[in-house]
Structure 1
Amino acid sequence: MLKTILSISGKPGLYKLVSQGKNMLIVESISADKKRIPAYGNEKIVSLGDIAVYTEEAEVPLKEIFVALQKKEEGVAASIDLKKATANELRDYFAQILPSFDRDRVYLTDIKKIISWYNILILNGITDFAAQEEALEVSPE
């Protein structure tokens, strides 16, 4: 599922891939408005399935972080207030989810993005991070 969820640089929120045009992608906002817009090749478009976070040992896929966040928060949106939290509070919160994250290469903006993406997905009913990814991997080609 995370392979079809996209982050587009310069546009707020997350988008679901709907179809592909000649020189663009057609994406739909995950938020309540479900607005469809074109996303062009000159925009930085990243699939959430392709994102990983640096740790001291290796890189951890974003889906594993979302699963850990979901366990910590018991399936609801994150309890930390991203606007009011200090840098140390954000790092401590993220360390509860991923204790070995690389504090030199994972910036505060990265932590805020990951938590805000998690909140967007949870608030819009996308909650089955692990099972949906496994289903994609098992399906025959």
Structure 2
Amino acid sequence: MSLEKILSIGGKPGLYRLLTQTRSGFVAESLLDKKRTTVSAQSNVSVLSEIAIYTLEEEMPLGEVFQKIQVKEKGGKTSVGHKEDKLKLEEYFFEVLPNYDEDRVYASDIKKVIQWYNILQDNGITEFVKDSEDALEEE
């Protein structure tokens, strides 16, 4: 499963899998407890494939950041928990993405990236970036 069906819903913890759309919004399933919830179209919802992290040169798609974490951790969960102190989180993120923009990427953002990566790992979602061959086939 790709990041295009994975959502972050404002005010709700964790990540959600998009199940189906309804007239007034959509139905999503929590990746934490598998409970289904209906979400209105007015809710603050972000699709993970649309999120990017600021670097000094450009914005890097979140999937590519997850890919870098996956390489660093050899396919496992992160060696740093999302509840670590600010300095430890920043050191870890600097190892993963040395050119991230420290002025625009906050410790709270790093916490989310680490937490989301681990949630995806727990759910067996490890394909973060579409292969270039797959992208060509869809065009």
Same fold (TM over 0.5): yes
1:61 aligns with 2:41: no
Judge conservation of contact 2:81–2:115 (CA < 8 Å) in 1: no
Matches within 5 A, 1:80-119: 80-83=80-83, 85-119=84-118
Distance 1:103 1:133, change over 3 A: same
Matched residue, 1:129: 128
- Percent of matched pairs sharing the same residue: 46
Q: State the number of aligned residues.
A: 138
State the alpha-carbon separation in 1 of the partners of residues 108 and 117 from structure 2: 14
Q: Which runs of 5+ in 1 are unaligned?
A: none
Matched residue, 2:18: 17
State the alpha-carbon separation in 1 of the partners of residues 69 and 82 from structure 2: 15
Q: Residue 134 of structure 1: CA displacement? A: 6.2
Judge conservation of contact 1:15–1:27 (CA < 8 Å) in 2: yes
Q: Residue 41 of structure 1: CA displacement? A: 1.7
Aligned CA RMSD, in angstroms, stands at 1.6
State the alpha-carbon separation in 2 of the partners of residues 140 and 36 from structure 1: 30
Farther-moved stretch of structure 1 (74-83 vs 53-62): 74-83
State the alpha-carbon separation in 1 of the partners of residues 92 and 133 from structure 2: 27
Judge conservation of contact 2:81–2:114 (CA < 8 Å) in 1: no
Q: Residue 130 of structure 1: CA displacement? A: 2.1
State the alpha-carbon separation in 1 of the partners of residues 13 and 131 from structure 2: 24
Q: Which runs of 5+ in 2 are unaligned?
A: none
